[in-house]
Structure 1
Amino acid sequence: MAHRTKRQHFVPRFYLKNFCDADGYIWTHDSRRGDARRSTPENTGLETNIYSPEVEDGERFDEIEEFLAKTEGAAAPLLTRLSNSEKLDADEKAAMALFIASMFVRSPAQIRQFAALAGDMASWITAMQVECERNSKQKSGEDTKLEEVVLDYLGREDGLKLNVDRRAGLMGFVQLEPISRLIENMTWSFEVSKDVELITSDNPVFWVASEKIPRSPYGFGLAHRLAVVPFPLSPSLILRIDHGNPQPWRNHHLDKRRAKLANKMRAEHKDHCLYYRTHHDGLHQLGMKYPKPVQQVDFGYSGPKVNVVRKLKN
């Protein structure tokens, strides 16, 4: 039997090494446990078989984990160059964009959100089917009381509760290519922090608006002209990915206020873990302040409450 990887990192080890101290250790603040611990990248940011769901006869579907390993292999030397503020050529940028996109869809926070999206879609499809049945009965003069009751029930958050297997969130990988293309075609530059140590998390890739915009029920997409991906490369450097920056591949100073804001956004978007080089009470307080990640994936449908569970029971 071929060797397979059971201990699967949702944050790659070579990426975490950029945030290690001189002894090769990194701090993890876990908001679920309410504590911080120091460990090596080998023992940080991982879960058993998170990308290898069980299929027929107890076998594991390992194609996602194998794909991620290849993507990481191509990205590792490029991350080193970016960490030195070096410009990438077109092919290198495409390879790195694929890696950054994979960091988004592979994170536990996004897997959970994609699973919840699957639940919302199932509820919506069911409601549409019931509505079609009601409309058909109305045309033929039949009683539609049952359909009306069901539609009302499906439209209430306090009514039906839907459990969804977290593994359904692996469908997010079908969005990898379009997300990668968007990132590749955006403008890349660097932000350097000299006064504040930058942190990362178990959900290191997300996008925010560069200025305040009206809230939409459908969320805020990466293709929006104001979308910015602040991807931390090290405790002193962020790769800024945005639309139309007139100074690509340039180093820009990140002042103290904006560096603190970058760490705050990291805490808001984390699943439950922050990773950093130097521990202090301020980071503990920051990690505990935001218990749930910002909703990045949204179907815009209001219906039954969706509860994502690690594994559905038979």
Structure 2
Amino acid sequence: MADRIRRQHTVSRFYLKGFADEAGNIRRVSLPGEPSIVLSTRDATVIKDFYTVTLPDGSLSDVFERKFSKIEGPAAEALGHILAGTWPIEGEAREAFATWVALQHLRSEDVRFGQGYMNAEMIRLIVGVSGKDALRSLIQASESRPVSDDELDYEWRDITKPGGPDIIPDANQHIRLLTSLLPTTAAYLRDCHWTLFRFDRRSIATSDHPVTLVVAPDHPKWQGVGITTAELFLVPLNRRAALTIQPRRRFPQPPTGVERVPDFARKGTTAIARSINQETAARARKYVYHHPSETPLERLYLPNPETRERPSISNAEGLIREEGLFSGMTDEARRALSATSIPGESDRGMSIDDIPWPIPGRRARSAGRPTQAGQRFMNNTLEDS
């Protein structure tokens, strides 16, 4: 594709139509409640070049947006069957809709930003454990020049501050994560227990992150919320229906002789509608969407997205020391002990020597743009995938 800006939907338009009026308009409420505007589903959830990736040769490609459309077609058909009264759905329809739910979760802004936050936290931890002298050595070796104490102080403070360095969310890395997790996440959701709620009068809302991962009331605050730790997945289907997907291991055992508890369909109540809308609003990133003439958010708590806690590595503060956590040891021993496991790669570790410098995508001294070295690293990552 030519190097041009494309308007790309982070939430499927076929899905948003279920919350719109006959003219195709939907109300968008900005958290924590204002402003509220009515706009076309063509313009809702649009972010410029959100799925556009940079190829190793430096060109831009929207190939993944086209791949997503191939998932949306069968999913739209499956959703049509559900809303028309077919329940439960099985076979290809169930597979198609489970795949779309997985895609809709994994392609969200929350997942992309969360990935960036965790990268920053990991870099903070590795540098903090290694110490200032190791950071100086990394910079000097990468840039072939001496580093002054003032510059080193600046870099140390910025990298080891709470949350780590400011890193621009990266489309290439996000897409790589999405494509690696999509098949297993879709299969996991397909095999869960599904419950359909139908509402005669109560209105259901959705959001810019319509797949909500709900946790149990006793879920530890220190533990992150992910695909395998969620108590259930909540998906508003349209303004009169919603779906919950619950892992079967969290469901009561079926009676003797029954292979598994069948999927349920239930009539929704006012209390259930309110609970669904509250969870949806609480987990939205920036916006909640609903039918223009209805008020499903009335008397609900709408969070301020700027005050939300972001994912972090617990108990990292005590590991960050200017002299390094393992000061006094030989270089060989220090590197062995300070190696930090990479998720999914238990057979290898990562030390400060493995951090590319400049840090890819870091928002520092570069007018908010990734450095050339950082862009090369992103391109190599995409090429490897």
Alignment map for 1:22-41 (pairs within 5 Å): 22-31=22-31, 34-41=34-41
Equivalent of residue 220 in structure 2, options 191, 215, 220: 215
Residues 72 and 285 of structure 1, relative CA distance in 2, 3 Å threshold: same
Across the aligned residues of Structure 1 and Structure 2, the Cα RMSD in angstroms comes to 3.8
Q: Is the 8 A contact 1:198 1:234 kept in 2?
A: yes
Which runs of 5 or more residues in structure 2 are unaligned?
A: 135-152, 255-260, 321-360, 372-385
Deviates more, 1:293-302 or 1:241-250: 293-302
Deviates more, 1:239-248 or 1:189-198: 239-248
Q: Alpha-carbon deviations, 1:176-215, whole Å to 9, x = none? A: 2332222111111201233421000000112113x42241
Corresponding position of 2:278: 264
Distance 2:78 2:3 in 1: 27
> AA paired with 2:59?
E
Residues 101 and 278 of structure 1, relative CA distance in 2, 3 Å threshold: same
Q: TM-score, normalised by structure 1?
A: 0.78
Which runs of 5 or more residues in structure 1 are unaligned?
A: 134-148
Equivalent position SS for 2:218:
coil
Equivalent position SS for 1:166:
coil
Q: 1:290 deviation in Å? A: 3.5
Distance 2:213 2:238 in 1: 18
Alignment map for 1:81-230 (pairs within 5 Å): 81-83=81-83, 84-127=85-128, 129=130, 157-158=161-162, 161-167=164-170, 168-173=173-178, 174-209=180-215, 211-224=216-229, 227-230=231-234
Distance 1:92 1:199 in 2: 24
Q: Is the 8 A contact 2:203 2:296 kept in 1?
A: no
Residues 156 and 3 of structure 1, relative CA distance in 2, 3 Å threshold: closer
Distance 2:53 2:11 in 1: 18
Distance 1:222 1:293 in 2: 24
Q: Is the 8 A contact 2:123 2:159 kept in 1?
A: no
Residues 274 and 214 of structure 1, relative CA distance in 2, 3 Å threshold: closer
Distance 1:278 1:253 in 2: 24
Q: 1:113 deviation in Å? A: 1.2
Q: 1:20 deviation in Å? A: 1.0
Alignment map for 1:285-300 (pairs within 5 Å): 286=300, 288-292=302-306, 300=314
Distance 1:118 1:99 in 2: 27
Q: Alpha-carbon deviations, 1:211-235, whole Å to 9, x = none? A: 42241423134334x7111101011
Q: Is the 8 A contact 1:55 1:61 kept in 2?
A: yes
Distance 2:241 2:310 in 1: 24
Distance 2:122 2:6 in 1: 31
Residues 92 and 282 of structure 1, relative CA distance in 2, 3 Å threshold: closer
Q: Is the 8 A contact 1:200 1:275 kept in 2?
A: yes
Q: Alpha-carbon deviations, 1:16-65, whole Å to 9, x = none? A: 11111122211111238931221221111111110113345651132322
Corresponding position of 1:277: 291
% same residue: 20
Q: 1:258 deviation in Å? A: 2.3
Equivalent of residue 312 in structure 1, options 369, 374, 378: 369
> AA paired with 1:186?
C
Q: TM-score, normalised by structure 2?
A: 0.65
> AA paired with 1:40?
S
State how many pairs are aligned. Answer: 295
